[in-house]
Amino acid sequence: MEEKKTVLITGGAMGQGRAHAYKYAENGFHVILADMQDPSQDAFRETIEECEKRGAQVLAMKCNITSTEEMERLFAEAWNRFGRLDVVIANAGVINFGYTWELTDEQVEKVININLIGTWRTDKYAAQYMLKQGFGRIINISSTSGLYGTPKLATYCMSKWGILGLTKTLAKEVGPKGIIVNALCPTKVKTPMCETMEYVQFINDLTGKNFQTVEEMFNGVPFLEVEDISSMVYWMGTSREAGKFNGREVALDLGTLQ
């Protein structure tokens, strides 16, 4: 019997990460989930149980992607448990808002440390273990905000542009060794990150609308569903066709790049 493949997902407890976990689990993968939440917390526990219902073995760990020690432990545990890493999805991310000249050091450093340096740390250990086995696919979650500027979104744009530079560099480094590295750039997605009144106000400022609730915003502005992202992330991680390009950014943009 062929050994089951594995996927490792950062930010795996909720939102996009949860949807990715379900997609891979139902297609025969074992799943490694890392998140700032503890696996005993309700949302994370639900994700774990649903993956197991889909037939996956699950390794779930509380892990801060800004910590070298915790990330080293995550990848070592995954390797010791399953002995392989087929797909790694650098999904964890945060957002904040503010005009460039109003941002504090703390605001900038938080987003860069999690979104960009955290993705680099994820890629670093993914590459180290994939180089041992001579194959693998790394998928970095960037954003359409990594392709154009947006008012009041400097920290997020900086981090997501940086992820593309990382993706292209690592792809050149490990492509000849059988490892594919690409980035997915979604536009706005219906996730907990966007389900705040602060995000609603950001969209109002950006569009000139006057949405009063998250539901109004979701109905009034095009948003992707998490399943849209997961279908693409699964294709990028498993298909023969997606193994034919490397170091690319793939935009799932709902026409925003026209």
Q: Catalytic residue numbers?
A: 156
Rg (CA), the chain: 18
Q: What DSSP string describes 67-120? A: -HHHHHHHHHHHHHHHS---EEEE-------B-GGG--HHHHHHHIIIIIIHHH
For the packed helices 15-25 and 42-53, what is the interaxial angle rounded to 10 degrees? 20
> What does the block give as tokens for 256?
């925003």
The residues near 253 (Cβ < 8 Å, ≥ 6 apart) are: 144, 185, 186, 187
Backbone angles phi, psi at 188, to 5 degrees: -60, 140
Distances (CA, A) of 16 to 90, 104, 130, 131, 206: 11, 28, 24, 27, 24
